[in-house]
């Protein structure tokens, strides 16, 4: 099997699978001149969408101050989508600081994290630690620093941190225990 930079062709096609997903009419929810909104193919919550710019931007590291209006537009699209489709749902929007897929994409995800796709500590920590950069923090960095600064070693370590409920802060020993706990914790805290 052919390789490129140590990656097989199958690994590379998966890494860039979002480009094909943007063309899949069954996954596309919205499109305008700047962005395409799709359903996440491996959702990590009941409601999980991706907003992808049409401009070719591989990752956060390629963003600079000229992209502020694009990220603000993506932010507005996310808010409009959730207001229209899921008005009563708590959600967050942002980016993985070190994404597993390209091109750049904003996650719009409900904070119930109730999904078959949420399988391991890495999945959990990628949305519930500072590995997940909110769209507001990205805009803030672009406005103040004119670029995005990511401490790669620090954020990679965040994926290894202990499992912790994002609602009450209780530490959990494994994913099944955590998934059961967050359903009950959400009910107790009126998050659903």
Whether 191 and 90 have beta carbons less than 8 Å apart is answered as yes
* Dihedral class, residue 38 (left if φ above 0, else alpha if ψ from -120 to 50, else beta): beta
Q: Does residue 105 carry a catalytic annotation?
A: yes
Task: Provide the CB-side half-sphere exposure for 127 (13 A, CA).
Answer: 26
Residue of 48, 96, 105, 107 marked active site: 105
Rounded to whole angstroms, the Cα distance separating 62 from 123 reads: 24
Catalytic residue ranges: 105
């Amino acid at each position: 099997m052919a390789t490129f930079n140590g990656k097989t062709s199958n690994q590379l096609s998966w890494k860039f699978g979002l480009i094909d997903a943007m063309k899949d009419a069954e996954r596309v929810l919205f499109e305008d001149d700047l962005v395409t909104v799709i359903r996440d193919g491996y959702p990590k919550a009941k409601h999980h969408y991706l907003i992808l710019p049409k401009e070719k931007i591989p990752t956060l590291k390629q963003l600079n101050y000229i992209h502020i209006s694009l990220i603000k537009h993506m932010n507005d699209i996310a808010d409009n989508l959730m207001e229209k489709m899921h008005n009563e749902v708590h959600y967050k929007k942002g980016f993985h600081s070190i994404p597993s897929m390209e091109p750049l994409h904003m996650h719009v995800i409900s904070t119930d994290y109730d999904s078959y796709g949420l399988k391991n500590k890495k999945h959990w920590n990628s949305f519930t630690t500072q590995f997940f950069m909110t769209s507001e923090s990205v805009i803030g960095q672009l406005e103040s620093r004119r670029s995005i600064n990511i401490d790669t070693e620090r954020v990679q370590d965040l994926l290894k941190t202990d499992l912790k409920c994002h609602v009450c802060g209780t530490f959990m020993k494994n994913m099944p225990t955590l998934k059961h706990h967050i359903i009950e914790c959400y009910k107790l805290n009126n998050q659903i």
